[in-house]
């Protein structure tokens, strides 16, 4: 477990504070506290979540960058979960565009811990050029029960959730399901019927998610 260099700028927002994101109140169990490190103004921006497999294919990573960059250029804040694969690729794509393009990572640990460890530099860049968020107190380690709770925050904060690649039992489908229950838009990039990382996306489309072939498909639904 990798300890993140401590920041003097970690702040705590309490449910009911004026800076508490109102969209989280749509949850039946909104976080009582949010710990943030970075630019707090981003909590008020319109957001789209990009999520997907931790073992994304080369094509999946390419599609992630394409969607992330175009949605960011349209004025949306890209939010994800700092995980390997699609999440990390979305964050990195935004940071590569320069300081006017921002990203938010919702973490499944305390903000003084980086998981996965190889994302230490990425988390540091997001801290400086975006925002890190967690409902977990400092010192909270990565535990399996933390990540579904992280996913509900991602779903609630977003106007819509885009799933790039996912197996049929992927955690990304939890985020998409929660988003749908909250009345958010759900988008999925289709894939070959025989590819294991397309199963979840194709299932979402079958269940009513919007098919996303290009970024414009997302923007048109969100009226951007």
- Tally the C-alpha atoms within 13 A of residue 67's C-alpha that lie toward its C-beta: 33
- 75-107 in b/e burial notation, b at 16+ Cβ within 10 A? ebbbbbbbbebbbbbbbbbbbeeeeebbbbbbb
* pLDDT given for residue 5 in this prediction: 57
Is the confidence at residue 3, as pLDDT, over 90?
no
Stretch 88-111: mean pLDDT: 96
**Beta-bridge mates of residue 49:** 79, 161
Q: 210: helix, coil or strand?
A: strand
CATH for 8-221, among 3.80.10.10, 3.40.50.450, 2.60.40.10, 3.40.50.300? 3.40.50.450
Torsion 156-45-159-141 (CA) sign: negative
Compute the distance between CA of residue 137 and CA of residue 130 in angstroms, rounded to an integer: 20
* pLDDT given for residue 27 in this prediction: 97
Per the prediction, the chain carries an average pLDDT of 94
Digit-coded pLDDT (tens) for 149-176:
999 999 999 999 999 999 998 889 999 9
Is the confidence at residue 144, as pLDDT, over 80?
yes
* pLDDT given for residue 194 in this prediction: 83
Is the confidence at residue 80, as pLDDT, over 70?
yes
* pLDDT given for residue 169 in this prediction: 87
- Residue 79: closest CA among 115, 110, 107: 107
Which pTM was predicted? 0.95
* pLDDT given for residue 223 in this prediction: 79
- Residue 138: closest CA among 33, 218, 28: 33
Task: Judge contact between 102 and 79, C-beta under 8 A.
Answer: no
Q: 105: helix, coil or strand?
A: strand
């Amino acid at each position: 477990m990798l300890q993140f260099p401590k920041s003097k700028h970690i702040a705590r927002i309490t449910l009911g504070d004026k800076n508490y994101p109102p969209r989280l109140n749509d949850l039946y169990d909104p976080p009582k506290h949010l710990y943030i490190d970075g630019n707090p103004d981003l909590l008020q921006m319109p957001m789209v979540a990009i999520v997907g497999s931790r073992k994304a294919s080369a094509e999946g990573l390419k599609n992630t960058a394409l969607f992330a960059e175009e949605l960011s250029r349209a004025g949306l804040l890209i939010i994800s979960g700092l995980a390997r694969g699609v999440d990390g690729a979305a964050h990195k794509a935004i940071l590569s565009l320069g300081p006017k393009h921002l990203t938010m990572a919702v973490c499944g640990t305390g903000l003084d811990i980086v998981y996965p460890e190889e994302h230490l530099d990425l988390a540091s860049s997001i801290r400086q050029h975006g925002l890190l968020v967690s409902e977990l107190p400092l010192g909270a380690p990565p535990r399996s029960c933390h990540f579904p709770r992280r996913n509900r925050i991602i779903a609630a904060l977003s106007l819509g959730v885009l799933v790039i690649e996912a197996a049929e039992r992927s955690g990304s489908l939890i985020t998409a399901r929660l988003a749908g229950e909250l009345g958010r838009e759900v988008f999925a990039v289709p894939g070959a019927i025989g590819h294991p990382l397309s199963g979840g996306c194709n299932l979402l489309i079958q269940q009513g998610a919007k098919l996303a072939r290009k970024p414009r498909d997302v923007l048109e639904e969100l009226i951007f």
